[in-house]
Every structure is written in structure tokens, then in C-alpha cells.
Amino acid sequence: MKTYIVIGGSRGIGLSLVNLLLENNNKVINISRNKPDLSHDNLTHHSANVLKDELPEVASCDGLVYCPGSINLKPVARLKLDEFREDYEINVIGAVKAIQAYLPRLKSGQNPSIVLFSTVAVKLGMPFHASVAAAKAGVEGLTRSLGAELAPTVRVNAIAPTVTDTDLASKLLRNDKMIENITERHPLKKFLKPDEVANMAAFLLSENARSLSGQIFEMDCGIVSFKI
């Protein structure tokens, strides 16, 4: 039985991942401001704001997944510098803080792995995404740099999803017309469900991904890969 730390596992992709890991007979330590609507003997919850609070100590750790993110979509002229700083703090600094806190335990873990989250907006230039794309580009740089630094002991990978049906993306999917437009923009004529992304994260944590590190996996429904 392995032990995984999920930062931000109370909703969306994080909650789907927590459920999946528990179904596969793992121990899960969830760290988030809100407690997930879930009870399980193998689940431990710690209420904490990753950016402001001390992170709890753990006895062991075989994998770390950092889920917090932001979608702050505005014209660059309307973005305040503090908004750029806030997005960078949430996406990059929070991940660094978590990695630094749990790296000693990870190094002693079984096939230890770190999974971070980027966005297709890093590779696909999209209007109004300046702040989040800049922050997530930092996540991708961190992924590659740490993948090299921590090899061969700890693997580090990131997932770059397109629009995913979570609370974070609710403003993009708030009516039928917007859902239709987003669906049509993707060559596969779909966008993502949280469990699809969670399955990719679980795979990257698993023994089946032992040869993968420093990679950015685009779950794009074709929007980056294809021009149709």
C-alpha cells in the first residue's frame, strides 16, 4: 500500500484523483482549505492554505500531486501586477513549497513521483491568458528542471489539460451556447471531465510510468495538436 499526498483534493480533478487512489487501495493525505465530501479509512485530511500555513508532517510519502490552479482571464491592459503575482504564487510558489516540504520523504518512497499541472494555453497562444499562461509556463520549467535534478530517484511530470468541467472553469461553461462553442473548437468535439485527467495523474504516479520524467502531457482533445 502506497501513500500519496494530494494538495487541493477537495474538488475537481483533485477530488477525482483522491477517489481513484483510494479505490486502488492506497493511503491518501489530502491538504486543502476545505474538507472533501468524502469519508474513507485510508483518507486523512489536513485543513491548510498552502501559501500561508505550515504544511503538516507526514511519516511517509510515495507521491505528491499539486492541484491548485487559477483561471484569471482578462485583457493584459486590465491585469494588475498583483494579479500576475497572485497567479504565480498559486501555481508555482505553492508547488515549490510543497515539494520542498515533502522531498525528504519522497526520496525514501517507493518509485516516488511528483505530478504538477500546466495548461494548453502555454503552448497555444490564447487571448486574455497572459497571467495564467505565464504562471503555468513556470510550472513547465520547474517540471523539466526538477526532473533532471531529482533523477533517478524522484520522477517529475506535468499534465497540461484543455478546458475541464470543474468549478474553476465554470465561467467558461456557464451556458449551452458556451459549451457548444468550446466543444466545436476541439477537433475531438469534446472537452475534459475531471476523471479523465485524474486517470492520467494516477498513471504518472504508478509503476507503469517508471520511464517517464520531465514530460509535459497535453490532454488537449486535439486543440493544440491538430489543425482541422
Note the pLDDT tens digit of each residue in 119-161: 999 999 999 999 999 999 999 999 999 999 999 999 999 999 9
Q: Which has the closest alpha carbon to 14: 201, 207, 158, 208?
A: 201
Note the pLDDT tens digit of each residue in 45-102: 999 999 999 999 999 999 999 999 988 899 999 999 999 999 999 999 999 999 999 9
Q: What is the pLDDT of residue 195?
A: 97
For the chain, the domains span: 3-219
Q: Which has the closest alpha carbon to 14: 36, 41, 39?
A: 36
Task: Give the number of other CB atoms < 10 A from CB of residue 80.
Answer: 10
Q: What is the pLDDT of residue 49?
A: 96
Mean pLDDT of the 12-18 span: 97
The letter for the amino acid at 77 is A
Cα separation of 19 and 42, whole Å?
A: 11
For residue 179, give the H/E element and its range: helix 176-185
Q: What is the pLDDT of residue 70?
A: 87
Cα separation of 194 and 175, whole Å?
A: 19
3-219: CATH class: alpha beta
pTM of the model: 0.95
Note the pLDDT tens digit of each residue in 91-114: 999 999 999 999 999 999 999 999
Note the pLDDT tens digit of each residue in 175-184: 989 999 989 9
Mean pLDDT of the chain: 95
Q: What is the pLDDT of residue 58?
A: 96
